[in-house]
Chains A and B, each alone.
Chain A
């Protein structure tokens, strides 16, 4: 079955960077877009952009441009999301999700990133 497995929780200092991984199994890795979404305490889901594992193409909302970078390693069936210049506002659970062109049908378990001095 389709599985997305994310890396473990992280604690970071303000100004640091974090890189979260998302390992895919159970389907053709290069066939579907992977998107990233985060959920901060007391907030709604916030969309962070996408990467296509086939060619590495990416697109990010203006909110995150310049701070987020999504990459992939096709040999490891993995995508990565790096966020720089962390502040306390970036404390959230980060999710990767597979897009089957009609919606996000499979999700990772979530990775908690806590930013604290």
Chain B
């Protein structure tokens, strides 16, 4: 099964904004939106946002998610060193009845 498409890396200056993209199709992102996970080395992944722009409790407002058609985006505002890590989008594929994952984007704060 094809996965979601993410750029391999994104970088931005400290305090600046990083924008991540995630492209899918009408069965996954286009149907139910995407969720975003942050994975830092040595830790399990953490859910940052779901169904496009809902944040679990305790997740900073600096993470803003959105969707346009079959593409989801995650904006990280005020980038800090602790935001560095790998970010994955994931979406439920209604045809497969499985989740599909992006290949991940490595975020670097310059």
Chain B residues, Cβ within 8 Å of A50? 98-99
Bin chain A's interface residue count: 20 to 34
Cross-chain contact of B47 among A44, A45, A60, A103 (Cβ < 8 A): A103
Whether B37 and A105, one on each chain, are in contact in the complex, defined by CB atoms closer than 8 angstroms, is no
Q: How many residue pairs, one in A and one in B, have C-beta atoms under 8 Å apart?
A: 61
Whether A44 and B101, one on each chain, are in contact in the complex, defined by CB atoms closer than 8 angstroms, is yes
Whether A104 and B103, one on each chain, are in contact in the complex, defined by CB atoms closer than 8 angstroms, is no
Select from chain A the residue with minimum beta-carbon distance to B90. A103
How far, in whole Å, are A103 and B1 apart by their CA atoms in the complex?
19
Does A62 make an interface contact (CB < 8 A)? yes
Whether B98 and A45, one on each chain, are in contact in the complex, defined by CB atoms closer than 8 angstroms, is no
Min CB–CB distance A76 → chain B (angstroms): 22
Interface residues of A (CB under 8 A from B): 35, 37, 39, 44-47, 49-50, 59-63, 95, 97, 102-105, 107-110
